[in-house]
Amino acid sequence: MNLTLLQYRIAFENPELNIATIERLLNLVENPDLIVLPEMFTTGFSMNTAQYAENMNGKSVNWMVQKAALLNTTIIGSLIIEENGKYYNRLVAAHSNGNIQYYNKRHLFRMGEENNHYTAGNNRIILDIAGFRICPLICYDLRFPVWSRNTDNFDMLVYVANWPSVRADVWNTLLKARAIENQCYVAGVNCTGTDGNNILYKGESQIINAKGQYIRNPETRDECVISTTLSISKLQDFRKQFPVLLDRDSFNIIA
């Protein structure tokens, strides 16, 4: 599978400029099966839900659908979505055939008052792309291993984020941990620069294999396109040689 991550400075609460930045970076991408954008890719980590929320028929989702069809790929990223009077930090997956899947962020970052402005989701999704089963999650979800737990139903975890530089060590440590404990590939996509609340982000987007080794390391802090080709057969071979998932806990209480 050809995987591409887009890391860039999100212009705070400026959807038009952010779409223009993504369009420019997409000119550098060749034959992607999956393109991953950061969390809240149109606005940055905004609590101004009423002003910047869109719906599933809005401009940004339509742009994702059209671009996915044009590039014959799947594009994922989260944005502010309003539905039935509620606001969600929603990851949208737009497929090349026009189909859409979505995941509402489960764990809302209360230290940033996200829980006061958004409604939490309850269900994960699995994307089937180029022979891979992919579980996409959002930022703060990374801290909760039970929510990320692999019951042998996915081959890769993808985290889209606005993860501040002050907690970069946590980002790097937990991404590796999720790869090792779930015996899967992990991709983490972060933004860079400073947002409208003077919070600094230094990128460090990365791709890790099931052994916890970097395929693409987290050293890059500038705007960049990160692309690589992942092998499902290598992952399957490793799982056969070292079948950790067969010994996972069922969490049934034994008296």
137 within some domain:
yes
Active site residue 39: yes
141 within some domain:
yes
CA angle centred on 141, ends 139 and 143, rounded to 5°: 100
Which residue in 54, 135, 139, 176 is the catalytic one? 139
pLDDT tens-digit map of 170-195:
999 999 999 999 999 999 999 999 99
Active site residue 83: no
| Dist. CA 251–CA 180, nearest whole Å | 19
Nearest to 157 by CA among 169, 175, 173: 175
Extract the residue ranges of the chain whose pLDDT is less than 50: none
Nearest to 232 by CA among 155, 172, 150: 155
Domain that residue 91 falls in: 2-247
188 within some domain:
yes
252 within some domain:
no
**Predicted pLDDT of residue 255:** 58
Which residue in 67, 105, 176, 202 is the catalytic one? 105
**Predicted pLDDT of residue 236:** 98
140 within some domain:
yes
255 within some domain:
no
254 within some domain:
no
Q: What is the CATH number of the domain that holds 198?
A: 3.60.110.10
Active site residue 135: no
**Predicted pLDDT of residue 252:** 74
The domain tally of the chain equals 1
**Predicted pLDDT of residue 250:** 86
**Predicted pLDDT of residue 218:** 87
Give how far Cα 25 sits from Cα of 18, 31, 64, 153, Å: 11, 14, 14, 32
